[in-house]
Homo-oligomer: A and B are copies of this chain.
Amino acid sequence: MTIYKAPLDDMRFALYDVLGAEAVLARLEGGEGHTRDLLDAVLDEAARFNEQVLAPLNGPGDEEGCHFDKATRTVTTPKGFKEAYRQYAEGGWAGLTAHEKYGGQALPAVLGTLTKEMIDSANLAWGIYPLLSHGATSALEHHGDEWQQEVFLKPLVEGRWTGTMCLTEPQAGSDLGLLKTRAEPNADGSYRVTGTKIFISAGEHDFAENIVHLVLARLPGAPEGSRGISMLVVPKFKVNRDGSMGERNAVAAGAIEHKMGIKGSATCVMNFDEAEGWLVGPAHKGLVAMFTMMNAARLAVGIQGLGLAERALQNSLNYARERLQMRALSGPKLPEKPADPLTVHPDVRRMLLTQRAFVEAGRVLATYAALQSDIEARDTDPLARKTAGELLSFLIPIAKGLLTEAAQECTKEALQIFGGHGYIAEHGMEQFVRDARIITLYEGTTQIQALDLLGRKIMQLQGAGLKHFLGEISAFCQANQANESVKAFVGPLAVATKAWGDLTQAIAQNAQANPEELGAAAVDYLYFSGYVTLAYFWAKSVLAAAGSALSADAKQAKRDTATFYFSRILPRIHVHKAAIEAGVATLPEVL
């Protein structure tokens, strides 16, 4: 019942007009072929696949859900999911950004980001399977032994096998230091892995011949807490050194969870019973290795928020234009009809513009972050690589935290526009709300993102990323303060940016006196940072629009949405500032 059309025009606007990605990509190592023609062709093809194959499976997949067979401990995914995955693998999408050595296409991360947004719009639950494979691929690329890379990466990149990340245990959620799964060495260098993991997305399913589990566990004599965790690769079917598949390994799904949403995604309890595994990277350094893939996964979850919000926007805008209900307060707009369309009501427009403001600037943020990862990986200038890496690692908790929280607001408003009809399953809007609710939880809750941003990226790393980003915004403001097309936004942006810097200093000082102030400030600081970040990308978008080939209407829409954002969303920073200043003293122990 819901529509979806890939927002190709706005994706190209973000990529080329706002971020000038064409020139950036061309100067990177291996970027000769990454022309606009190629990128556009891939985006067009991704749009076709997502609109035609994945989007129609979204509602039915939610309704049917996954089936778990206790006897065989196997999962059957909803009708059509497996076939869609076959097409995905055959289309080469699994290896879009992977290394050519393993059969990948080595295309830029920005392209991975934009095509991923389409998947998340089209079918969030389905997209979780390839997302996990991508994480496993990335971990093995960075930390695997040569033989592990030889054996596991090619089938992962081809999409013949899929991957998982096995972190959580019943007693160890946000706090991985509490995990108990054990790995004991065998004489041949392998390990026997024993323990129970929960919330394992794609832990078992019917897409692939084999499933490659990356598992966090403790070796004998490992230090307690997070410093004693190792990463192991544990395939569902054992794999010989020549890559051929051996017998079934002692790892199996024990159950699947009944969840609020993403019902097409199999969330498994995984039981490891002396399963054969191999150490990935050094002993006791598993958490560091896992963070490599977790950072990428966190950005990916932020993009899930973007994708959900985009589709919610499309459907609510469509409905608001068609549904006739009541008259405009200033008199009938369509007197020949029984009532005016919902769009005549200013508050309906507020709800639509809220979504648009988050989606379009969020898209620039996600694409900007992905471009930093391209620069970090392939710039010839080491300093440019370092700067991009610092920017990226700073922006990831902001992108994850803000875009997933914004998706809660956007899908809520989209449903609200439908009135009572939004609550009925057949309209599909309530699925977006249910699906969206997971994204502020997994890959680190909003609270964990906030502590990562403030505790690690700001305090521990002396705010390197923040300094780059504030510098970039300040330079933008200085360069454009007299520019007619954007100066109305430059003033408030400069004020908000200065406030961001000042607030950071103030929190750092407070935290010296009492470290609890960090925890009291973190989530509000995340929001503050996110809102200023989107303000920057809105100002940048207005400037880019002015100099672009967009139609006059499209340019005006960018200006209008930026005006909306600056006057009705950005003022939220004052509430967050007030909360931060109120400090931990206003968060007493609850009785």
Contacts and interface: CB of A to CB of B under 8 A. Distances in A.
Nearest to A582: B567
Contacts of A260: 423-425, 430, 433-434
Q: How many copies of the polypeptide does the oligomer hold? A: 2
A572 B575 CA distance: 6
12 contacts: A171-B324, A177-B326, A177-B339, A330-B515, A346-B520, A353-B590, A416-B447, A420-B442, A422-B441, A423-B441, A560-B588, A568-B578
A281 interface: no
A452 to B, nearest CB: 13
A564 B590 CA distance: 11
Interface residues of A, number: 89
Contacts of A350: 520, 523, 587
A445 B342 CA distance: 13
A425 B258 contact: yes
A557 B349 CA distance: 41
A567 B586 contact: yes
A168 interface: yes
A575 B571 contact: yes
A121 interface: no
A563 to B, nearest CB: 6
A568 to B, nearest CB: 5
B415 A258 contact: no
A468 interface: no
A178 B353 contact: no
Contact of A326 (B174, B258, B520, B578): B174
B567 A578 contact: yes
Interface in A332-362: 338-339, 343, 345-350, 352-353, 356
Interface string A40-52: 0000000000000
Contact of A557 (B437, B514, B563, B591): B591
A412 interface: yes
Given A350-B587, A415-B437, A575 B578 contact: no
A433 B430 CA distance: 11
A450 interface: yes
A259 B424 contact: yes
A27 interface: no
A408 interface: yes
Nearest to A442: B420
Is chain A's binding surface mostly helix, strand, loop or mixed? helix
A217 to B, nearest CB: 17
A262 to B, nearest CB: 9
Nearest to A172: B325
Nearest to A563: B586
Contacts of A450: 347
Contacts of A590: 317, 320, 343, 349, 352-353, 356, 557
A90 interface: no
A199 interface: yes
A419 B347 contact: no
Contacts of A519: 329, 345-347
A102 to B, nearest CB: 32
A441 B320 CA distance: 16
A589 interface: yes
A100 interface: no
Contact of A582 (B317, B328, B424, B568): B568
A257 interface: yes
Contact of A416 (B168, B419, B440): B440
Given A441-B419, A588-B560, A589-B349, A178 B338 contact: yes
A563 B587 CA distance: 9
A515 B329 contact: yes
Interface string A276-307: 00000000000000000000000000000000
Interface string A499-533: 00000000000000011101110110000000000
A584 B589 CA distance: 43
B348 A258 contact: no
A155 to B, nearest CB: 29
B408 A412 contact: yes
A498 interface: no
Contacts of A440: 416
Contacts of A329: 455, 515-516, 518-519
Nearest to A551: B591
A446 B416 contact: yes
A173 interface: yes
